Amino acid sequence: MSAAAGTPPEGGGDRPWQSYHTAYTNAKAGMEGVDKEKVQKVIYEMSKGSKYFENEQRKEAVTKQKIEHLRAQCAALTDNDISHFQKVAEKKMLELEASRDLSKIWLHTDMDAFYAAVETLENPSLKGKPLAVGSMSMIATASYEARKFGVRAAMPGFIGCKLCPGLVFVRPNFERYTHYSELTRKVFQRYDPNFIATSLDEAYLNITNVCIERGITGEEVATELRSAIYQETGLTCSAGVAPNRMIAKVCSDINKPNGQFILPNDREAVLTFVSTLPIRKIGGIGKVTEQMLRQVLGISTCQEMLQKAAFLCALFSEGSADFFLSVGLGLGGTETPEQRQRKSISCERTFAATNDSSLLFEKLDSLAENLTDDLQKEGLKGKTLTLKLKTADFEVRTRAVTTRNYINSKEDILVYATKLLKAEMPLSLRLMGLRMSQLHDEKDDPSTSTQKTLDIFFRSSNDQQDFFLHDESCFIPEQRSFGNHSNEAVISKPLGGTKLDDVSSSAKVAPAEKLNEPDNLISPKAVASSSKPDQQSWIDGYICSICGFELPPGFEEERLEHSDFHLAETLQQEEAVDGTRHISNERLADRERPCSTTPTPKKKLKSSKEGKHIPIDAFFTKCNKNL
């Protein structure tokens, strides 16, 4: 028996729009005086009946099941279980508390209505008008004037129009945002050379030293910094100052448009601050997690995490529980993590739904071209290619292959992508995407110069679609702070070492590992069905016997890869026939029955945790697994 009691029914009753919380469930700055009920109703009216709506309903049903399952698990906990987990939780909390570090001062900055502000700056006639940056199908952000009408980021444009008839639209212009972002970063640099940029418009600065060296307070730094940014960009921003990043981020949102909020480095102040703070304000806790915690355990504020600590430990994975408890204690990242390199690069396009295969292949071709360009622009190659599909009814699927060698040429990409897509056809799609991961710097590779030869392909600029093509590549995006900083304990730079080293080491191994293995696929499926090579060879040592492609001396590696295509081609064709694919179906079957883990038997208390561990990332947290 848990705290499941006392949670409101959440039903739709005679006001269906009230239950359609599908999006926009989080409070956003600038939405204070908005008639939420009315907005909700408009959104509901415009959404209901659509494919999108149907899919949202389906997803909601799934999370409802998750919640039911958790409740059941919770109800099955015995007194013994509970007291056990209470001890576990208390121990955890003590450890976490012991790791509290109040010696650092962190500042988080967040530009105000960034894209919209930039557009207004470039075109002053937009000033004062309700503005949406985006298209009729999607709004990236809205000016504060527009927000008064309920218009906001991630809202489809046509709904924005309904909410705000005079809404002005401007298409995104990423070069501009990148430019202004760089200007702000020049300012950040002066306050913390190791600042962490988490997006074009956000960054964390460790201002501890500035405060000490100049003998000023965090508040003074914030004021000065914001002023400097305004001076040098003409844009306003908001700032939050706190002893750790997690809290600083929350603080920067408090006085959002052009304001700041400072939380002193004082334990009591932090605990008080966190005591009434809605969990949804914490980065990493989104709509689903919020609902689960509230509807299963009755948790809605951070402090309540501590009251339900035992249940959190009983129901969620260790990582998740640590994260939750950290939140309850107001702990977050305090050490500057290692510089992080990108892990994937991707592009995707939404289009009018179609099941026309030739049309789909055309689009795939364009995606491949796009991805190659982006990869080559950054001098990267990758081993895992993932095809993303969104069906006409908004269901998302991904299909991936991992190759033996690193690839980045268009034809390589296209060969694999095509196979992946073929295996799914026929079907009607509204989006396709390609992502390359397991990246590796091209430069580190001895057998360099790759693309030259394979670039002998179309170069035509595709039809830039409706707009919304990101290009945030630019600078040093140190994505997602992921507060996990493994505690200073271990000398200097302990954490990052592992993963980053991993990458670089495998990079060095790369050349060696591309032995004469003909099959470029790592997947055992292909290997298994092999043993029947289509005997591709090199005429005169450099002309492909199958397609006639020429790869002169000096392109040994390319020849190997090229051979791989042909082999993989034949192998995968066989494979596609013997429906090895559709693992997704198994998964669905799995879903039907609420996960394996039965409630915790008293004996193997541990096993209860093996249950359905809910995600939750460790953003911002400290969660020092002390290693």
Ligand X SMILES: Cc1cn([C@H]2C[C@H](O)[C@@H](COP(=O)(O)OP(=O)(O)OP(=O)(O)O)O2)c(=O)[nH]c1=O
Partner DNA sequence: GGGCCGTAGGCTT
Partner DNA sequence: TTCCAAAGCCTACGGCCC
Which residue among 43, 105, 140, 302 contacts ligand X (CB under 6 A)? 140
Which residue among 18, 34, 53, 574 contacts DNA (CB under 7 A)? 53
Choose between 110 and 557: whose C-beta lies nearer to Mg ion.
110
Q: Does 559 bind DNA (CB under 7 A)?
A: no
Is there a catalytic annotation at residue 224? no
Residue-wise DSSP of 106-133:
EEEEEETTHHHHHHHHH-GGGTTS-EEE
Choice among 202, 290, 369, 575 that is catalytic: 202
Enter the DSSP assignment of 138.
-
- Point out which span in 114-122, 387-395, 528-536, 567-575 binds Mg ion (CB under 5 A): 114-122
The distance in angstroms from the start CA to the end CA of the chain is 36
- Point out which span in 55-63, 200-208, 379-387, 557-565 binds Mg ion (CB under 5 A): 200-208
Q: Does 159 bind ligand X (CB under 6 A)?
A: no
Choose between 138 and 544: whose C-beta lies nearer to ligand X.
138
Residue 132 Cβ vs DNA, minimum distance, rounded to whole Å? 12
Q: How many CB atoms lie within 10 A of CB 447?
A: 14
Of 10, 500, 585, 595, which Cα lies nearest the Cα of 291?
Answer: 10
Dig out the tokens for 364 from the structure. 């795939």
Which residue among 81, 201, 304, 445 contacts ligand X (CB under 6 A)? 201
Please return the burial class of 476, using the count of CB atoms within 10 Å of its CB with bins 0-12, 13-18 and 19+: exposed
Residue nearest to Mg ion (CB): 110
- Point out which span in 112-120, 509-517, 526-534, 544-552 binds Mg ion (CB under 5 A): 112-120
- The CA-atom distances, in angstroms, between 622 and each of 176, 340, 467, 480 are 35, 17, 39, 14
Element spanning 196, H or E: strand 196-199
Q: Does 145 bind Mg ion (CB under 5 A)?
A: no
- The CA-atom distances, in angstroms, between 153 and each of 134, 150, 180, 347, 350 are 9, 10, 20, 21, 18
Which residue among 81, 101, 110, 322 contacts ligand X (CB under 6 A)? 110
Choose between 101 and 201: whose C-beta lies nearer to Mg ion.
201
- Point out which span in 307-315, 478-486, 489-497, 557-565 binds DNA (CB under 7 A): 478-486
Q: Report the C-alpha gap between 135 and 170 in whole angstroms.
A: 7
Please return the burial class of 453, using the count of CB atoms within 10 Å of its CB with bins 0-12, 13-18 and 19+: middle
Size of the site for DNA (CB under 7 A): 102
Residue-wise DSSP of 455-483:
T-S--PPP---SS------SS--------
Question: What string marks each residue from 97 to 126 as x (binds DNA by CB under 7 A) or -?
Answer: -----------------x------------
Q: Report the C-alpha gap between 254 and 281 in whole angstroms.
A: 10
Choose between 153 and 568: whose C-beta lies nearer to ligand X.
153
Which residue among 256, 308, 388, 514 contacts ligand X (CB under 6 A)? 256
Residue-wise DSSP of 154-191:
TB-HHHHHHH-TT-EEE---HHHHHHHHHHHHHHHHHH
Question: What string marks each residue from 255 to 274 as x (binds DNA by CB under 7 A) or -?
Answer: --------------------
Q: Does 431 bind DNA (CB under 7 A)?
A: yes
- Point out which span in 77-85, 110-118, 349-357, 418-426 binds ligand X (CB under 6 A): 110-118
Handedness of CA 523, 525, 531, 537 (dihedral sign): negative
- Point out which span in 112-120, 212-220, 406-414, 479-487 binds ligand X (CB under 6 A): 112-120
Of 188-217, binders to DNA (CB under 7 A) are: 198-202
Choose between 205 and 210: whose C-beta lies nearer to ligand X.
205
Q: Which does 616 bind (CB under 5 to 8 A by kind): Mg ion, DNA, ligand X, none?
A: DNA
Which residue among 31, 43, 74, 111 contacts Mg ion (CB under 5 A)? 111
Which residue among 101, 119, 192, 201 contacts Mg ion (CB under 5 A)? 201
Residue 184 Cβ vs Mg ion, minimum distance, rounded to whole Å? 11
Residue 552 Cβ vs DNA, minimum distance, rounded to whole Å? 31
3-state secondary structure of 550: strand
Q: Does 119 bind ligand X (CB under 6 A)?
A: no
For residue 5, how far is the Cα from the chain centroid? Answer: 34
Q: Does 165 bind DNA (CB under 7 A)?
A: no
Choose between 184 and 405: whose C-beta lies nearer to Mg ion.
184
Q: Does 112 bind ligand X (CB under 6 A)?
A: yes
Question: What string marks each residue from 18 to 47 as x (binds ligand X by CB under 6 A) or -?
Answer: -----------x------------------
Q: Which does 549 bind (CB under 5 to 8 A by kind): DNA, ligand X, Mg ion, none?
A: none
Dig out the tokens for 318 from the structure. 């260790």
Q: Does 352 bind DNA (CB under 7 A)?
A: yes
Q: How many CB atoms lie within 10 A of CB 489?
A: 10
Give residues with Cβ within 8 angstroms of 413, minimum separation 6: 368, 371, 372, 385, 407, 434, 436
3-state secondary structure of 598: coil
Q: Does 184 bind DNA (CB under 7 A)?
A: no
Order of all β-strands in the sheet with 139-142 = 139-142, 131-134, 168-170
- Point out which span in 108-116, 294-302, 411-419, 617-625 binds ligand X (CB under 6 A): 108-116
Question: What string marks each residue from 281 to 320 as x (binds DNA by CB under 7 A) or -?
Answer: -xxxxxxxxx--------------------------x-xx
Q: Does 435 bind DNA (CB under 7 A)?
A: yes
Point out which residues pair with 348 in neighbouring strands: 433
Residues 375, 382 contacting (CB under 8 angstroms): yes
For residue 356, how far is the Cα from the chain centroid? Answer: 31
Q: Does 622 bind DNA (CB under 7 A)?
A: no
Handedness of CA 391, 397, 403, 408 (dihedral sign): positive
Which residue among 88, 107, 116, 153 contacts DNA (CB under 7 A)? 153
For residue 6, how far is the Cα from the chain centroid? Answer: 33
Kindly list the residues in this chain that would bind Mg ion in the complex (CB under 5 A): 110-111, 114, 201
Annotated catalytic residues are 202
Kindly list the residues in this chain that would bind ligand X in the complex (CB under 6 A): 29, 110-115, 140-141, 153-154, 201, 256
